[in-house]
Structure 1
Amino acid sequence: MTHKIIVAGCGGMSNTWIDYAIQRANAEIVGLVDIFEESAKAMAAKKGLHVPTFTDLSAALAATGANLVFDVTIPASHKTIAITAMQAGCNVFGEKPMAESFADAKEIVEVSQATGKRYSVMQNRRFMKQIRSYRDLVGSGAVGTVGSIHADFFLGAHFGGFRDAMDNPLIVDMAIHTFDQARFITGADPVSVYCHEFNPPGSWYAGNASAICIYEMSDGSVFSYRGSWCADGLNTSWESDWRVTGSKGGARWDGSSMPYGEVLDPEKPEGFIREMVRIEGQDVYDGSEGHWGCLDEMFAALEAGRPAETDCLDNIKSVAMVFGAVESARTGLKVKL
């Protein structure tokens, strides 16, 4: 199978996607699209690509015979790009979030189902040896039945550009990663959410850049999220700082080191504070990490004729966590998902 790729969007993030496609033996970039054609031409020159450039995706698809679109445009364009591509007979691999609203995300899923074309979403934070180890540690039963999972995310990110003007920059543009990680770690899906969203003093964002969320999950556990994108100092990792509590102990992951846990020591008697034994997460994941790991999975799934791990049919559940949180913050009510 040869993948003939149109890259839609030639901003900074497209560098990684284009570099991946260039090194893949059965992939060929056949065109670049950007609303500012000079950006597409500059990217083609930068990467040594002798391909046509366009300002319109439909024109690019008609001219090149592409069968796969990389959507690395801004979130506001994702719905149009994805639906245009799938209705033209192309599969789509796209940057998160799937769309700027839950209604748009559902429409994308409906078009994917109607056309039989795959739309897979970049959730690169699933593809790290540390989080794979953490998921395995929690899933092994070593800490018992999971009662709660907690994530802290505190960074001072001075992007500039569209994020600074968004209404919900943290929840819509960034928290999708952490919410998807929570589903990945526990294997549970969201049932309801209560969210308080706010913009603290010193924030350089126009919209709410901080939030606290409480999710009820399908396995009966609770997931809590505390986050800020305007927190200068004492920063967590981009992968968040995690804690799982279980019926036999707990597991920690700081987002960068290998995870570990503490479980009840069966050889020690009961006490006011029970004695614990440390357990270590195992380093067994040997796949590529980050964007390249997620792209490996997307291509492997497409070539095997199966949904990717981050196919829109699954990712819609993480998207529901995002827009459920936005709705809860807007209304002040708990929202069922």
Structure 2
Amino acid sequence: MAKVVQVGLGHWGFNWTAHVLPIVPQAEMVGYVDTSEEALARVQTELGVPASKCFPSLQDAIDTIECDLVLGTLRTQAHYPVAKQALEAGLNVVVEKPFASTVAEAQALVDLARVQGRVLAVSQNYRFFPAPIAAAQLVAAQDLGPIDFVSLEFRQHAPTLGYRYWDMPDPMLADMSIHHFDLMRMVLGREPRRLTCRTWNPVGSPFEHDPSAAALIEFDDGTIVDYQSSWMSSGPRTDWAGEWTMNGAEGDVWWTSRSPHDETDDRLIVRRRDAAEPVTPRLPELPSTDRAGALAAVVQAVDTGTPPSRFPSGSDNINSLALVAATILSAQRDGSWVEIAEVLE
């Protein structure tokens, strides 16, 4: 069990406090931090958090209580200074995605965690669902032979979802696509090499910046991923992980994950070229999923010193963040091919 301090109790942070932390028994909550007196008062009055566990700054918490792990659930721009402060204090850290504003900041945190000998992780919660884990296992076993082409579509209509961040730069690529980019790497077990990307803003959109994107991503084994995503789609909505079709030498795999209606409703279908009917294999049963699964994995890494499989460490997640940076750069260059090595430099 890890003694955890949560930093950031705003809209999304409060959601963590109310709905995620109570279902992760491995995490003993010893502190809650926010600069807003109103936010601290809310967790006390609505969730019954003792005032003795509430602090106006991370330093106040560190000076007052014993803790092992800092959970950062605050705006992206604050991830770097909070994670840096926690690591320098000798604490382990897990932050929401994206875990830094730039690849350079991310690398600095990874280097600091290595020097301090501490866990640095990112809550890439889409990794902790049955369908992508099953898909990753199929790819690793080459059950359908080598995968050469993947089609991934994500379709949602933000104006009818209660979306609030109309002025966010790169609302698709920076805010949502990192989930899909991270799953690409996890499921394929490969790293991206180069890509081309275009973005656009449909007529009548309330977004200030482009909410739709299309990219071709080439991985280091030659696999191509055709990625299409939109916050302004008028078509049938996909699940949050999107709809995937992965083509192999012996057939293909279709799967989807994290349904907006029932997050346990993952689906995966195997269609073998020489089989008359598709097969729906039994998906793995997980002790916990989504954000709870991600936090439980971090606590396990802290407690045992051995990260579980598919662990979203900071050093691993830099390559997912690099995909974000590279797609944005390619779109700024009117779709020119961008080498991943360029953004990792």
TM-score, normalising length from structure 2? 0.88
CA contact (8 A) 1:138 1:251 kept: no
Tell me, in whole angstroms, the C-alpha distance in 2 between the residues paired with 1:86 and 1:210.
Answer: 36
Residue matched to 1:57: 58
Amino acid at match of 2:270: G
Rate the CA distance shift 1:243–1:27 in 2: closer, same or farther, 3 A: closer
The structural deviation recorded for 1:104 is 1.7
**What SS does structure 2 have at the residue aligned with 1:104?**
helix
Residue matched to 2:339: 336
CA contact (8 A) 2:157 2:233 kept: yes
Residue matched to 1:270: none
1:115 equivalent to 2:94? Answer no
**What SS does structure 2 have at the residue aligned with 1:279?**
coil
Rate the CA distance shift 1:37–1:160 in 2: closer, same or farther, 3 A: farther
Q: Counterparts in 2 of 1:87-98, with a 5 A limit?
A: 87-98=88-99
Larger deviation: 79-88 or 300-309? 300-309
The structural deviation recorded for 1:228 is 0.7
Tell me, in whole angstroms, the C-alpha distance in 2 between the residues paired with 1:26 and 1:335.
Answer: 42
Tell me, in whole angstroms, the C-alpha distance in 2 between the residues paired with 1:315 and 1:293.
Answer: 17
1:99 equivalent to 2:100? Answer yes
Tell me, in whole angstroms, the C-alpha distance in 2 between the residues paired with 1:24 and 1:143.
Answer: 36
1:225 equivalent to 2:265? Answer no
Q: Counterparts in 2 of 1:29-68, with a 5 A limit?
A: 29-50=29-50, 51-68=52-69
Q: Counterparts in 2 of 1:1-337, with a 5 A limit?
A: 2-15=1-14, 17-18=16-17, 19-25=19-25, 27-50=27-50, 51-158=52-159, 159-161=162-164, 163-255=165-257, 256-265=265-274, 277-307=277-307, 309-332=311-334, 333-337=336-340
**What SS does structure 1 have at the residue aligned with 2:322?**
helix
Tell me, in whole angstroms, the C-alpha distance in 2 between the residues paired with 1:119 and 1:47.
Answer: 28
Residue matched to 1:269: none
The structural deviation recorded for 1:211 is 0.6
CA contact (8 A) 2:103 2:321 kept: yes
CA contact (8 A) 1:118 1:307 kept: no
Question: Unpaired segments of 5 or more residues in structure 2?
Answer: 258-264, 341-345
Tell me, in whole angstroms, the C-alpha distance in 2 between the residues paired with 1:100 and 1:165.
Answer: 17
Question: Unpaired segments of 5 or more residues in structure 1?
Answer: 266-274
**What SS does structure 2 have at the residue aligned with 1:141?**
coil
The structural deviation recorded for 1:56 is 2.3
Tell me, in whole angstroms, the C-alpha distance in 2 between the residues paired with 1:190 and 1:106.
Answer: 18
Amino acid at match of 1:190: P
Larger deviation: 202-211 or 169-178? 202-211
Rate the CA distance shift 1:38–1:257 in 2: closer, same or farther, 3 A: closer
The structural deviation recorded for 1:325 is 0.8
**What SS does structure 1 have at the residue aligned with 2:204?**
coil
CA contact (8 A) 1:8 1:34 kept: yes
Tell me, in whole angstroms, the C-alpha distance in 1 between the residues paired with 2:107 and 2:46.
Answer: 36
The structural deviation recorded for 1:305 is 0.5
Amino acid at match of 1:206: E
The structural deviation recorded for 1:183 is 1.1
The structural deviation recorded for 1:35 is 2.6
* Aligned-residue identity in percent: 28
Amino acid at match of 1:166: M
Amino acid at match of 1:125: Y
Amino acid at match of 1:209: P
The structural deviation recorded for 1:63 is 2.4
- Residue by residue over 1:1-56, the C-alpha shift from the partner in whole angstroms, topping out at 9 and shown as x without a partner, is x5222211112333454354445555432222223121122113322111343332
- Residue by residue over 1:71-100, the C-alpha shift from the partner in whole angstroms, topping out at 9 and shown as x without a partner, is 000111111111111111111111111112
Tell me, in whole angstroms, the C-alpha distance in 2 between the residues paired with 1:206 and 1:75.
Answer: 19
Rate the CA distance shift 1:276–1:247 in 2: closer, same or farther, 3 A: farther
- Residue by residue over 1:111-135, the C-alpha shift from the partner in whole angstroms, topping out at 9 and shown as x without a partner, is 2122222111111111112222222
Tell me, in whole angstroms, the C-alpha distance in 2 between the residues paired with 1:68 and 1:257.
Answer: 31
CA contact (8 A) 1:204 1:230 kept: no
CA contact (8 A) 1:132 1:285 kept: no
TM-score, normalising length from structure 1? 0.90
Give the aligned CA root-mean-square deviation in angstroms: 2.0
The structural deviation recorded for 1:175 is 0.4
Tell me, in whole angstroms, the C-alpha distance in 1 between the residues paired with 2:156 and 2:23.
Answer: 33
Tell me, in whole angstroms, the C-alpha distance in 2 between the residues paired with 1:232 and 1:43.
Answer: 38
CA contact (8 A) 2:168 2:208 kept: yes
Amino acid at match of 1:336: E
Rate the CA distance shift 1:336–1:276 in 2: closer, same or farther, 3 A: farther
CA contact (8 A) 2:21 2:292 kept: no
